[in-house]
Every structure is written in structure tokens, then in C-alpha cells.
Amino acid sequence: MTSALGKPSIRSYSETDAAATLAIFIDAITITAALDYSPEQVQAWARPGQRNTVSWNLSMSGRTTFVATVNDEVAGFSDIDEHGYIDMLFVAPRHQRKGIARALLAEAERRVREHGGTCLTADVSITARPFFESSGFSVEQEQHPVRQGVSLVNFRMSKSLPSVVVSG
């Protein structure tokens, strides 16, 4: 589906999105997050050259993943589980600051509410923390996950979703 005037359109992930979403994941880490993480941390997290579209597609297909497109190009992607946990929310560097992340987050929230959820949680990078804070998330704790033997820094964040009252 094409979006009007370059605004993002959200749709469910499909196998044909594997290469684009993998490229976005790697670029978002190696370009955007590289401002906040050391080269060693970036390599351990992104693992460029060590990932392939087949295993990536299996991973993405095994969760509730959705993509944002702009003029039929995949510009970002996210996911949400049944408990309101967002494992990934990544936007292509060239599409940043255009409302893509907000559209993806709104879709995650919509899907959680649809299933009666009352909270969103995510493990958020240093880079993404300001965006999540501006979207109503609060830091619960700083974390130090280890990837490929390298310690990273991220933040467990959450956002309560107030009940939506429908009057009729």
C-alpha cells in the first residue's frame, strides 16, 4: 500500500521484507547508534556480515512484526509480543525524524490495546532513549547486556496505557 505525501503506512511483515529489514537493523546500529556506542560494541550488537536473510526472516516471522513503508519502500520496522514487549524498533537512517518511529510505536500501542494490554515495555538503546522518553516511556533500570562477549548499555523502559473510555 502506498502512503500519501510521503507519510508512513504500516503493514504486517512478510518474507519479502527480510533483506530490507535486516539492512535497516544493521544500518541503524552501525550508522545511527555508532554515535553512542564504541566500534567494538557496534560490531558485537549488529554483527554485520554474520547475519543472513534466511535466519533473519525466520526470526521476524516468529513474532508479530510490522513494517512502515514510505512510497512503497520499507523505512522501518517494529514488533510487539502478547505482553506488550517491543523487542525491536528500528528506522533506516535516511528516514529518521520523519515520523516513522512514532507511527511504528502507535501501531505497537494499538495492537497491545486491541488485546487488552495496559503497558508497553522495551529494552532501549542510549540512542533511542530520548525518543522513548518523549513518547511517554520511563526508565525502570539501566542494564548491561553482553553480546559476543562485549558489554553494552541499554535501559528497561515502560509506558502505562490508560484505559480508553468509549462512550456511546
- pTM for the model: 0.92
Q: Any residues with CB less than 8 A from the CB of 165 and at least 6 apart, and which?
A: none
Q: Please report whether residue 63 resides in a domain.
A: yes
Q: Please report whether residue 158 resides in a domain.
A: no
SS3 at position 74: strand
Range of the domain at 95: 4-117
Q: What pLDDT, on the 0 to 100 scale, is given for residue 4?
A: 47
Residue 63, all three cell numbers: 513474532
Helices vs. strands in the chain: H and E counts, helices first: 5, 10
Q: What pLDDT, on the 0 to 100 scale, is given for residue 156?
A: 98
Q: Please report whether residue 125 resides in a domain.
A: no
Q: Please report whether residue 30 resides in a domain.
A: yes
Q: Please report whether residue 53 resides in a domain.
A: yes
In this structure, what is the dihedral angle of CA atoms 94, 99, 100, 104, given to the nearest 10 degrees?
160
Integer angstrom CA distances of residue 106 from 36, 44, 102, 165:
26, 30, 6, 18
Residue 14: CATH number of its domain:
3.40.630.30
Q: Please report whether residue 159 resides in a domain.
A: no
Q: Please report whether residue 142 resides in a domain.
A: no
If residue 159 lies in a helix (H) or strand (E), which one and from where to where?
Answer: strand 154-160
pLDDT per 10-residue tile (average), the chain, 168 residues: 66 98 98 97 96 96 96 96 96 96 97 93 98 98 97 98 68
Q: Please report whether residue 15 resides in a domain.
A: yes
Output DSSP code: residue 155: E
Q: How many domains does the chain have?
A: 1
* Contact status, residue 12 vs residue 66, Cβ threshold 8 Å: yes
**Count of beta carbons in the 10 Å neighbourhood of residue 8:** 23
Q: In the Cβ-directed half-sphere of 90, how many Cα atoms lie within 13 Å?
A: 22
Q: What pLDDT, on the 0 to 100 scale, is given for residue 166?
A: 60
d(CA 133, CA 58): 31
Q: What pLDDT, on the 0 to 100 scale, is given for residue 163?
A: 74
